[in-house]
Copies of this chain bind each other. A is one copy, B any other.
Amino acid sequence: MSRPTIKTIAQETGLSIATVSKALNDSPQVRPETRALVVAAAERVGYQLNMHGVQLRTGKTYQVAAIMTAPGPKQNEWEGVEYAQLLSGISWALEDSPYRVSLYAVRSFEESIATIRQIVSLKKADGIIVSGTHADDPRVRLMQEADFPFVTYGTTIHNAPHAYVDADNEQMIRLSVARLAERGHSRIALINPMADLSYSLTRLEAYRKALDIAGLVFDPALTAHGHLTPAFGRENVLHMSSLPNPPTAYICANEASALGAFSGFHARGLVHGRDAVINATDDLNVSQYFAPPITTYFLPIHEPSEMLGRYILRRMEGEAPEALQTLIMPKLIERSDDRLVKS
């Protein structure tokens, strides 16, 4: 047989399709007993709402677009981003809703703008989740101008208020630097993400402020911005460790670059805890397996990602963006004392 529709239920119950539709949508226009009848019949025939009819009629898509900026095929370097977990978290948060996650993989920032423009103008989704925010993000402006529901993973700095979820980078860096300073480090390197990313700026400013408070001088030679690959971490250690006055601590923005930093240690014959130490920000929970394990700020990725899902739902229901802003503070996991032991 063919799939049952509301027409099937109408015949089954002797009601009109309009009443059936209203009953299924909990309209107050239908008596509770009638509703019960309809629901029973629906159950009996195994009715399942056909979304295509709904979509055509209402114009809603019941899709949440997840924009994922993944490096192109050429780029084989690992960046240690657990996008998969991010996507799963969003997907799970939408589980009990009629919404589905629709994936838009793009290769570059520019392409993500074009994709979002298309989604907005052709209404290919009801909401958008976008990550890798810039300090002044044209995509955010675009969506705001169109009054399109969205949530960002990452804050912006120059844009009007919008819904976001992010790790508390400011606090994380402030505490990191203070902790290392307390332990006697005066030359602290900051391995930072690409400079156009919003959290890069946040981290850099927090870093400068924290140095200031600790009475340490800011040296531009100890900061680096780039793609957070192992290669990047390695290069920076190779370079910075051969400066006249090399750093004794490296704060890496993720575990991939931290792994690369270790590789640099190995190449230079540096010993962790004697010549310098490495700290990281962590969402893979992998740095406990480094040799030796390092101190990290750990944020299980499912927390922000499920929040992204919940927030986009609420945003699509019209909730104000100001109410949907959260910074999550990662947990400090001290796996090393991080004081240098001269031997």
Over the window 73-96 of chain A, the binary record of Cβ atoms lying under 8 Å from chain B Cβ atoms (1 yes, 0 no) is 100111001111101110110000
Selected interface stretch from A49-57, A163-171, A312-320: A49-57
Q: Is the CB of B300 within 8 A of A286?
A: no
Q: Is the CB of A87 within 8 A of B87?
A: yes
A130 interface residue (CB < 8 Å to B):
no
Give the interface size bracket for A toward B.
35 or more
Identify the interface centre among A70, A231, A256, A300: most chain B CB within 10 Å of its CB: A70
A100 interface residue (CB < 8 Å to B):
yes
Given A52-B56, A68-B84, A102-B102, A289–B73 Cβ distance below 8 Å? no
Given A85-B70, A88-B105, A103-B66, A291–B289 Cβ distance below 8 Å? no
Given A52-B55, A230-B289, A263-B291, A103–B105 Cβ distance below 8 Å? no
Shortest C-beta distance, A48 to chain B (Å), equals: 6
Give the residues in chain B near A63, CB-CB below 8 Å.
102
Give the residues in chain B near A286, CB-CB below 8 Å.
78, 230, 256, 259
Cβ contact of A70, chosen from B88, B105, B231, cutoff 8 A = B88
Give the residues in chain B near A59, CB-CB below 8 Å.
52
Given A52-B52, A83-B84, A266-B292, A77–B300 Cβ distance below 8 Å? no
Q: Is the CB of A285 within 8 A of B68?
A: no
Given A85-B70, A262-B291, A291-B263, A103–B104 Cβ distance below 8 Å? no
Q: Is the CB of B76 within 8 A of A289?
A: no
Inter-chain pairs besides A84-B87, A256-B286, 18 sampled, C-beta below 8 Å: A48-B122, A52-B52, A55-B55, A73-B300, A73-B302, A82-B84, A83-B84, A88-B105, A91-B103, A100-B102, A101-B102, A102-B102, A102-B103, A260-B289, A262-B289, A262-B291, A263-B290, A263-B293
Report which A residues bind B (CB closer than 8 A).
Answer: 3, 48, 52-53, 55-56, 59, 61, 63, 66, 68, 70, 73, 76-78, 81-85, 87-89, 91-92, 100-105, 122, 230-231, 234, 256, 259-260, 262-263, 265-266, 284-286, 288-293, 300, 302, 306
A-B contact pairs, 11 of them (CB 8 A): A55-B55, A56-B56, A66-B103, A68-B88, A78-B82, A78-B285, A83-B83, A256-B286, A259-B286, A263-B291, A265-B291
